[in-house]
C-alpha cells in the first residue's frame, strides 16, 4: 500500500480491511503464532488482527499508537490528507524538503540523514500519485463499534504486552494516548523512550531490547 508495495484499486483500505489482509498474509506465511509490534495507525490494524485471532498472538508491543479510536482527532499534519480535493492538492504540492522539516518538527529528534527523510515523498507518491495513501487516511474507522471490537480482545488477552512511547511525541502524547493504550492492555505502566512520534527512528536499540525481553518472557511461559 506504501513504499514499493502494490496499490490495487479494488482493495479495502479501512483499518478492518488492512487487518483482514494482514491476517491472510500471516496465514500465507504459515505462521501458527506471531509477535506483534504496532505503531501509529498500524495500531488499530494490529488490534483488529488480535480481535480476529487472539489465540495466535504470542506477544504485543504498542508504540505511539491509537486505541480509543472513537474520540481520536487527527493531528494538524494529518488532517489535510483526509479531506477531498484538499488532500490531493496537499500531496501533489508536497516537496521532499518540506516533508523533511515536518518530520524533524513532529517525527524525529535524532539526526536522521536528510536523504532518508526526503525519500518518503517519492515512495509515498510513486506510481499512483499517493492515491492509496489518501484512501488509507480516509479509511479510519473512528466509531464506537470498531473501538469496542478491538478493546474487548485486548482486555481479555492471555499474551504478554507492553507499551513503549516516544516521550516527546507532540501528536500522540504519552500522558493521554500512551495512558489509553496502557489502560486498554492492563499493563503496569508506559515505558517512555527518547524520541518523538517515530520513536523507532530515535530509539531503535532500546525498542529492540524491550521487544526481545518480552518475546523471551512469552517463550518461557508454559
For the chain, domain boundaries:
15-74+140-220
- Using a pLDDT cut of 70, give the percent of the chain over it: 99
Q: What is the mean pLDDT of residues 169-192?
A: 97
What is the reported pLDDT for 3?
83
Nearest to 47 by CA among 89, 73, 19: 19
What is the reported pLDDT for 222?
56
pLDDT, tens only, 128-165:
999 999 999 999 999 999 999 999 999 999 999 999 99
Q: pLDDT confidence of 1, banded at 50, 70, 90?
A: low
pLDDT, tens only, 92-109:
999 999 999 999 999 999
Report whether pLDDT(220) > 80: no
Residue 65 is classified by DSSP as E
Q: What angle do CA 135, 136, 142 make, to 5 degrees?
A: 110
Report whether pLDDT(118) > 70: yes
The CATH H-level (homologous superfamily) assignment of domain 15-74+140-220 is: Alpha/Beta hydrolase fold, catalytic domain (3.40.50.1820)
Report whether pLDDT(51) > 70: yes
3-class SS shares of the chain: helix, strand, coil, % to 5: 55, 10, 35
59 contacts 159 by C-beta, under 8 angstroms? yes
What is the residue-wise DSSP string for 130-176?
THHHHHHHT----SHHHHHHHHHHHHT--S-EEEEEETT-SSS-III
Q: pLDDT confidence of 219, banded at 50, 70, 90?
A: confident
Q: What is the mean pLDDT of residues 194-212?
A: 98
Amino acid at each position: 500500500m506504501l513504499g514499493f508495495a502494490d496499490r490495487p484499486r479494488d482493495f479495502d483500505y479501512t483499518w478492518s480491511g488492512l487487518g483482514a489482509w494482514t491476517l491472510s498474509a500471516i496465514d500465507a506465511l504459515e505462521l501458527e503464532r506471531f509477535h506483534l509490534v504496532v505503531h501509529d495507525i498500524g495500531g488499530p490494524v494490529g488490534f483488529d488482527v488480535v480481535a480476529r485471532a487472539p489465540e495466535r498472538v504470542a506477544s504485543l508491543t504498542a508504540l505511539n499508537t491509537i486505541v480509543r479510536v472513537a474520540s481520536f482527532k487527527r493531528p494538524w499534519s494529518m488532517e489535510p490528507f483526509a479531506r477531498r480535493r484538499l488532500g490531493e492538492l496537499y500531496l501533489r504540492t508536497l516537496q521532499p524538503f518540506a516533508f523533511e522539516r515536518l518530520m524533524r518538527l513532529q517525527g524525529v529528534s535524532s539526526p536522521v540523514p536528510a536523504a532518508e527523510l526526503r525519500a518518503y515523498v517519492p515512495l509515498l507518491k510513486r506510481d499512483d500519485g499517493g492515491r492509496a495513501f489518501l484512501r488509507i487516511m480516509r479509511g479510519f474507522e473512528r466509531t464506537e463499534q470498531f473501538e469496542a471490537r478491538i478493546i474487548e480482545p485486548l482486555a481479555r488477552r492471555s499474551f504478554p504486552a507492553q507499551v513503549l512511547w516516544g516521550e516527546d511525541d507532540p501528536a500522540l502524547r504519552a500522558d493521554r494516548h500512551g495512558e489509553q493504550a496502557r489502560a486498554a492492555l492492563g499493563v503496569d505502566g508506559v515505558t517512555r523512550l527518547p524520541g518523538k512520534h517515530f520513536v523507532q527512528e530515535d530509539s531503535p536499540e532500546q525498542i529492540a531490547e524491550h521487544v526481545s525481553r518480552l518475546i523471551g518472557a512469552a517463550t518461557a511461559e508454559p
